[in-house]
Homo-oligomer: A and B are copies of this chain.
Amino acid sequence: MKTRRNTIQRRVLLEEIRKSRRHLTAAELYETVRDRLPRISLGTVYRNLEILTESGEVSRLGVAGHETRFDGVTERHPHYRCRVCGRIDDAEGTFSVQIEADIAAASGWELGAPSVEFEGVCPACRASTGARPEGTRPPGDTVH
């Protein structure tokens, strides 16, 4: 792993991400940290978000840097998404999501169907990079 300097910017960014109970965007985070670091730049925010994601200290929700893709099959089904090239495949095999009865009731949200997406590395990228992603888990696992 690459050696990283322990900069104030990165420290403050991580602190603010953890402090906030919201899930902030890069722009929101930029505005937030500007109270403490008035000279920080948006570029630094993005660079550190990348670094922190890489190191596993924060996780990104959604698919940054990748274009939206469209599916002609409307019925919900799980997908694989390649974290390297952005490619999406249908996931074959079976899976199921059991939504407990209390999940929607308490939240105040009007909920639609769940999306399930497995982040991973596609065969092509796996061949060219040889990288084995951290967080890989054996099949048959259950997540709560």
- Contact indicator B135/A107 (Cβ below 8 Å): no
A142 CB → nearest B CB, Å: 6
CB contact between A114 and one of B29, B76, B111, B116 (< 8 Å): that residue = B116
Contacts of A64 in B (CB 8 A): 68
Q: Closest B-chain residue to A29, C-beta based? A: B70
Q: Which residues of B lie under 8 Å from residue A120 when comparing CB positions?
A: 109-112
| CB < 8 Å neighbour of A70 from B17, B87, B94 | B17
**Which of B18, B71, B78, B121 interacts with A23 by CB under 8 Å?**
B71
Task: Name A residues whose Cβ lies closer than 8 Å to a Cβ of B.
Answer: 14, 17-20, 22-27, 29, 49, 52-53, 56-64, 66-74, 76, 78-83, 87-89, 91-123, 126, 132-137, 139-144
